[in-house]
Chain A
Amino acid sequence: MNKKTLRRVEPYIWIAPSVILMAVFILVPICSVFQIAMNDVSKAGKLRGFNNFANFSKVLKSPTFALVLKNTIVWTIAVVVISTVLGFLLALVLNNKFRGRKIARAIVVFPWATTLVIQASAWNFIINTDYGTLNTLLMKLRLISAPVNWTPNAGAYFAWEIACGIFVTIPFVTFCVLSGLQSIDTSYYEAATVDGATYFQKLFSITLPLVKSSLTVATVLNIIYVFNSFPIIWTMTKGDPASRTDTLVTYLYKLAFYNSKQGEAAAVSVIGFLILLICASTYMIYTLRKGDDDL
């Protein structure tokens, strides 16, 4: 091989391990999911040929799927919107100089670093009616006189799951916004102060426009991560009762591994995949365009 061809293929040798790793363990599973979704699948998992989108029509016709889809949307929007607002406010607070700021920041990292299963178990314990620590605490503080049932119905359970989701998502937003806030030149604020701008004027005309890009990245990523979030719901309710707290991912897990309906589960995967693809391509176009601006 002469030197010129070597130079031309060299970059591909460098990226080869990474490409192979992602192709085998991400791309092939994606193709496999599509294949299963199109096929009639036996209980044992054998593919029995193309079945004219029967899996999709079965899924889309079932009333459970409509409920699950609604839950997924509520879950994603509630967690993302509330944690973005709270995370942004928290970042504004932590961006001030005060004694103990380092410690406060270290503490805020905690929920982000903890694995979701453990976080969800802890909340499950806290809100338990009969022996949970929330009731104990409120009783000791004499705020309540008898234990409160925090989870009287599926809706309440779902609300707690959303609260737990918010709790673990806030740090991510906070740290993204903080990174944006730290790159803002303080001279903008000084100039605005000289001109007599109020705090809120400065917030809306300096801070918000300048952290917009960090906030957008954080929000788009959060939509995707929250949409895919499995452990919180799985640990707290397993989607029960009767799928009332199921989201797409817990629903498809149950279909595939509890009910051996692999074809339908794959169809749910594909639907989720397509929803994500829209989010992902929006994000990719945004990021690549931003990358071009930097060059």
Chain B
Amino acid sequence: MNQVKKPVSVKKVILRVLLYFVVLDVCVITLYPYFAMLCTALKDRSEIFASIALGKSTILPVNVMWSNFIDIWSRAPMARYLLNSILIAGGSTVIAMLCGIPAAYALARMKFKGQTIFLGFVIVSQMFAPVVLLIGIYKVMGAMGLTDSILGLIFINAAFNQAFTVWLLRGTFMGISAEMEQAATIDGCTRVQSMLRVLLPVAAPGIVTTLIFIFINAWNEYTVALCLISTDTLKPLTVGINTFNGYNMIEWQYLFAASIFAIIPVVILFMCIEKNLVSGLASGGVKG
């Protein structure tokens, strides 16, 4: 630009400073619980319970206890919990995608009777969190012999994430022109082949976003797992870490050390899809 630079007004500077002040505050408040968790996870038990009234409590750990992060693996079957969480989240994602991709494809590429009804049910089903239906779920799973089993949790998570899967994938598929698939069909591909070889590679970013989001939802699920699983070694992390949150005595250092293991993978995954998720949000609506 060849214009003469405007002098920076005082008002602008003040607004700028105010902006940074607000952003900084928000970040500090948001990160505070995580900071508290990390500090506590590194403390010794006696340091955590040191009396505030006597001024003995600390913010940062005095004796940094890295051993807490090792102890949790022997204090509770953490490795099992972690494995269960991975199995549940992974299994739910696979099933939700296997059922959701064809359905979304049909909704995006074909016209059939009952399309609106199906879409309506998909949207409505998103509204019913499993917790309201817990008694029904418990009964149904009991009848199928799926209470206290990881497989049962996988199906429930897949079903309750189906709405989001179908809705977001349908949007992704509709945003891609059908011409290439039609060309492939003319070249002798069947419909399934043209979907697998032509559409899915193009739709990959949308598919990955959906995939990660289901994984996170299933990973963070708590209520159904709490209700269905009674055997300790079948619990996922979200339920299992409460071993450290007993009725008589809370082992805060272990609880938070274990929590950090449950949080980190999800936060990283979430950051990967944050950008794509924002565009999908306005159209479908998603949340754990």
List the interface of chain A (C-beta within 8 A of B).
Answer: 8, 10-12, 14-15, 17-22, 24-26, 28-33, 36, 45, 90, 93-94, 96, 98, 100, 103-119, 121-123, 125-126, 130-133, 135-137, 139-140, 146-147, 172, 175-176, 178-180, 182-183, 213-214, 217-218, 220-222, 224-225, 228, 230-231, 234, 249, 252-253, 256-257, 262, 265-266, 269, 272-273, 276-277, 279-281, 283-284, 287-288
In whole angstroms, what is the CA distance A107 to B271 when docked?
A: 9
A113 touches B266 (CB 8 A): yes
- B100 interface residue (CB < 8 Å to A): yes
Chain A contact residues: helix, strand, loop or mixed: helix
- Listed by A's residue number, 14 A-B pairs whose Cβ atoms lie within 8 Å are A12-B112, A18-B99, A21-B159, A22-B122, A93-B22, A96-B19, A107-B30, A110-B34, A125-B252, A130-B49, A130-B51, A135-B52, A257-B227, A269-B133
In whole angstroms, what is the CA distance A29 to B58 when docked?
A: 50
- B158 interface residue (CB < 8 Å to A): yes
Contacts of A231 in B (CB 8 A): 222-223
Contacts of B107 in A (CB 8 A): 15
Chain A residue at minimum C-beta to C-beta distance from B166: A18
Partner of B118, one of A19, A111, A265, A280: A19
- B162 interface residue (CB < 8 Å to A): yes
User: Size range of the interface on B?
Assistant: 35 or more
A253 touches B287 (CB 8 A): no
Chain B residue at minimum C-beta to C-beta distance from A134: B36
Q: Chain B 9-53, CB within 8 Å of chain A: the 1/0 string?
A: 000000010011011001100111110110110000000111111
Q: Which of A8, A21, A115 has most B Cβ within 10 Å? A: A115
In whole angstroms, what is the CA distance A233 to B31 when docked?
A: 21
Tell me the smallest distance from the CB of B74 to a CB of chain A, in Å.
21
List the interface of chain B (C-beta within 8 A of A).
Answer: 16, 19-20, 22-23, 26-27, 30-34, 36-37, 39-40, 48-53, 55, 57-59, 95, 98-100, 102-103, 105-107, 110-112, 115-116, 118-125, 127-129, 131-140, 155-156, 158-160, 162, 166, 191, 216, 219-220, 222-223, 226-227, 238, 241-242, 245, 252, 255-256, 259, 262-263, 266-267, 269-271, 274, 277-279, 281-282, 285, 287-288
B128 touches A30 (CB 8 A): yes
B136 touches A28 (CB 8 A): yes
In whole angstroms, what is the CA distance A26 to B122 when docked?
A: 11
Contacts of A116 in B (CB 8 A): 220, 222, 288
A176 touches B282 (CB 8 A): yes
Contacts of A131 in B (CB 8 A): 48-52, 57
Chain B residue at minimum C-beta to C-beta distance from A25: B159
Contacts of B219 in A (CB 8 A): 115
B40 touches A224 (CB 8 A): no
B102 touches A104 (CB 8 A): no
B135 touches A18 (CB 8 A): no
Q: Which of A18, A113, A140, A262 has most B Cβ within 10 Å? A: A18
Partner of B136, one of A31, A105, A130: A31
A14 touches B282 (CB 8 A): no
Chain B contact residues: helix, strand, loop or mixed: helix
B30 touches A98 (CB 8 A): no
B158 touches A21 (CB 8 A): yes
Partner of A21, one of B95, B111, B118, B238: B95
B120 touches A288 (CB 8 A): yes
Chain B residue at minimum C-beta to C-beta distance from A221: B285
In whole angstroms, what is the CA distance A234 to B260 when docked?
A: 20
A14 touches B40 (CB 8 A): no
Partner of B57, one of A29, A139, A288: A139
In whole angstroms, what is the CA distance A162 to B23 when docked?
A: 23
A93 touches B139 (CB 8 A): no
A113 touches B216 (CB 8 A): yes
Tell me the smallest distance from the CB of B260 to a CB of chain A, in Å.
9
In whole angstroms, what is the CA distance A183 to B279 when docked?
A: 10
Given known contacts A18-B103, A21-B158, A230-B223, is B37 in contact with A122 (CB within 8 Å)? yes
Chain B residue at minimum C-beta to C-beta distance from A130: B52
B99 touches A21 (CB 8 A): yes
Chain A residue at minimum C-beta to C-beta distance from B191: A10
Tell me the smallest distance from the CB of A12 to a CB of chain B, in Å.
7
Q: Known pairs A18-B102, A217-B281; list 6 more (Cβ under 8 Å).
A: A24-B159, A109-B267, A115-B238, A146-B53, A225-B129, A252-B134
